[in-house]
Amino acid sequence: MSLHIAILALQGAFAEHRKMLESLGAEVFEIRQKKDLTLKCDALILPGGESTTQGKLLRELELFEPLKKRIADGLPVLATCAGTILLAKQLADDPVTHFATMPIVVRRNAYGRQLSSFYADSNFSGIDQNLPMPFIRAPQIVDYDAEVELLASVGQKPVAVRYGNQVAMTFHPEITGNPAIHRCFLEKTVIPARKS
């Protein structure tokens, strides 16, 4: 059973996600224009990058409303860094929101310029190993509703959460060379959603 995974490829770090997913046997395609939405899609990847630019391009290319509806209807989503900002229902430092399908509050570039990039190691729920977590000008999840499941934390701060079929993290698992998080997403979110 081949999985068809779409990656939003308007801006940002999408190539690394593609490589990771293809190494796991998934069929991957990139969403760049409206006609790409006609392709069979079992899940969506929202990569890191610049959330304001991604949000602007999503609207200009008429991708925003169709993708928001699919996410709200249960399409599995894996979001990293800027992708998490796109999903957040509220931004702590900006009145503008984007898809707003996940009940979390996110602060953009929360760690400031001096600490804009760092690595941590932590456990991730459902994965039986300590994982490397690179944070690059990372946002921070500052609050989340009770129905949101905490998947990972670093220094008592949440860095990965799940809400229904949406998995969001503030770090970049796609650049670690370790496919554990992508595999976990496919096995525990995408495949069950496809069977239901």
User: Of 17, 41, 81, 184, which is the active-site residue?
Assistant: 81
Active site residue 81: yes
User: Of 17, 41, 174, 182, which is the active-site residue?
Assistant: 174
Active site residue 174: yes
- Tally of CB atoms within 10 A around 196: 7
The residue among 133, 155, 160 whose CA lies nearest residue 144 is: 160
Tell me the CA distances in angstroms from 111 to 39, 54, 56, 98, 155, one per residue in order.
38, 21, 24, 22, 13
Active site residue 4: no
- φ/ψ (deg, to 5) at 91: -110, 135
User: Of 16, 17, 41, 172, which is the active-site residue?
Assistant: 172
User: Tokens at residue 53, please?
Assistant: 């630019």
Catalytic residues: 81, 172, 174
